[in-house]
A and B are shown apart, each in its own frame.
Chain A
Amino acid sequence: MSGPPSADEGLSPAELARKYELSVSGARVSLGEYIRQMWGRRHFIVAFSSAKLTAQYSQAKLGQVWQVATPLLNAAVYFFIFGLLLKSSRGMANDMYIPFLVTGVFVFTFTQASAMAGVRAISGNLGLVRALHFPRASLPISFALQQLQQLLFSMIVLGIVLVGFGHYPSFAWLLIIPTLALQFVFNTGLSLIMARLGAKTPDLAQLLPFILRTWMYASGVMFPLARTLEHAGASKWISDAMLGNPAAVYMDLMRYALIDDYTGANLPPHVWALAVGWAVLFGAGGFVYFWKAEEQYGRG
């Protein structure tokens, strides 16, 4: 056992640390270094998200069949209520309304589930955060990635529904790739923001479902938003704001890509600019916002 050598005597701990170039444990690293660390953890992020996805249904007898069955049942319920009982299709024929509805439900669920997973990403994994060292943004990003994988299963169902109602694959279907990529960036940012808020205030997990449900009804998941707003006589700025909200934008782009009769006339002006703008704003903004509190995650 050794005491400090005479040269170090009288130095305060902080001075001693400076002399031997020790760094503060648990301090926040620079943004560039943080991104580098995230890149180093990319395999963990992917492995963690697919592990979560697999673990989700591993106790069920049908197992992974539920990946596809859950979105299908979801769509069936919405069709029963909004298509048959409430007739909110506003004059759309069923062969158009059902793909319209199913697309909307799946695309919105993607955003909704990412937000919900994000809010619990830190607060629900405190054990992990307190046991191992890794850039904390790995968790919300991993959860958003899990939702993307889930959506890809839903897209299989969507493909079957589309073909079943006579919408055959065309070149326009390729537009789903940029749309999904942009929506994924947006969702990841949203998930990161929610994760920081949820880490500080776990109560948000209780409140968020209500906010998300309001958002769903305001974005026209089950009814054509533009026509409904016109019908209700909404003023210009309200209808612009509702049509330009990110959920509505990504949903409309997806419908435009997949459904033959859903023409460009249904899209709000500058729709691609909006789609890119929301993705960049939330993606970059969310990442920086999350990183700013990096050293505080893990406190109960």
Chain B
Amino acid sequence: MAEQTLDKTAEAAQAAPAPSPVPTVIADDVHIVYRVNGGPKGRGSATAALSRIMRRKGAPGMREVHAVRGVTFVAYKGESIGLIGSNGSGKSTLLKAVAGLLPTERGKVYTNGQPSLLGVNAALMNDLTGERNVILGGLAMGMSREQVRERYQGIVDFSGINEKGDFITLPMRTYSSGMAARLRFSIAAAKDHDVLMIDEALATGDRKFQKRSEARIRELRQEAGTVFLVSHNNKSIRDTCDRVLWLEKGELLMDGPTDEVIKAYEKETGK
């Protein structure tokens, strides 16, 4: 747990008997290791692979990537927590572990209810119409058939796909990348969550849609108990988060109030 928060405890104790903060997510010494098959160390040809097997007896081209190394923190109800760090520092991986989507190598993540990662990209199929993708995406996120039916029109209207004609009945592969991204966001944002995790680069599409999606994220944040936000945009972290975790090379470098951590981060990155 973060040492920085301890001095605040004194204040909290003085303010007692205020309702004690309820933890919603506890990460206890979390390690995550990706095992990658066929990340070739030498040349990629079949003969090279075969000779590697012959020489080393087994484990052909198996590489381990230690993406998160011993991260510990406690998140409380009502907190908005930002995750910062350079590319490949393990932010998204950590979120996936909190959501229970990636198994931990060592350590445990405890959560209250089922945290959800905002995103449905993988469940959608480019060969299907937008219409069917809305239904499929909703069901994939765990909505019931009635809920999907209820929210269908809202999702389509929000995405604005039909503003320029009846595009929702066309296959998704015919959409422009902006249109597809808008539909994906609209589907993902249609569900309410207890613990919400938002990965960066969600605000896509044109200026108008960006505004609309930012407003929707704000709404979702108010409904959710605890919010995690991964972003490279320090401004959006400052705007929305009251606590920040700084990850670097899979380790938790700093955990504290937004201003303090962002200042240190900006100093470090020379910005």
Contacts and interface: CB of A to CB of B under 8 A. Distances in A.
Q: Do A and B bind each other?
A: yes
Interface of A: 1-9, 12-14, 16-17, 20-27, 40-41, 43-44, 47-48, 51-52, 54-55, 58-59, 125, 127-134, 202, 295-296, 298-300
Interface string B16-47: 10001111111111000011110000000000
Given A7-B20, A25-B100, A295-B103, A134 B142 contact: yes
A130 B101 contact: yes
Interface string B45-87: 0000000000000000000000000001010100100000000
Contacts of A6: 9, 12-13, 16
Contacts of A128: 122-123, 140
A3 B171 CA distance: 50
Interface residues of B, number: 66
Contacts of B111: 22-25
B19 to A, nearest CB: 9
B141 interface: yes
B112 interface: yes
B257 interface: yes
Given A13-B28, A128-B123, A133 B116 contact: yes
B128 interface: yes
Contacts of B142: 40-41, 44, 132-134
B242 A25 contact: no
A9 B125 contact: no
B102 A299 contact: yes
A51 B23 contact: no
What is the interface of chain B mostly: helix, strand, loop, or mixed? mixed
A202 B121 CA distance: 23
B160 interface: no
A247 B118 CA distance: 43
B23 A48 contact: no
Contacts of A4: 1, 5, 9, 12, 20-21, 23, 74
A282 B115 CA distance: 34
A245 B242 CA distance: 64
Contacts of A44: 136, 139-140, 142
20 contacts: A2-B21, A16-B26, A17-B26, A17-B108, A22-B110, A22-B112, A24-B110, A25-B115, A26-B100, A27-B100, A43-B145, A48-B139, A52-B125, A55-B126, A58-B171, A132-B117, A132-B123, A132-B142, A298-B103, A300-B36
B128 A55 contact: yes
B196 to A, nearest CB: 13
Given A1-B242, A25-B97, A133 B114 contact: yes
Contacts of A43: 139, 144-145
A127 B122 contact: yes
Given A4-B9, A41-B142, A133-B100, 13 more contacts: A3-B21, A9-B9, A13-B28, A14-B110, A16-B26, A17-B110, A22-B23, A54-B132, A55-B125, A58-B128, A130-B122, A299-B103, A300-B36
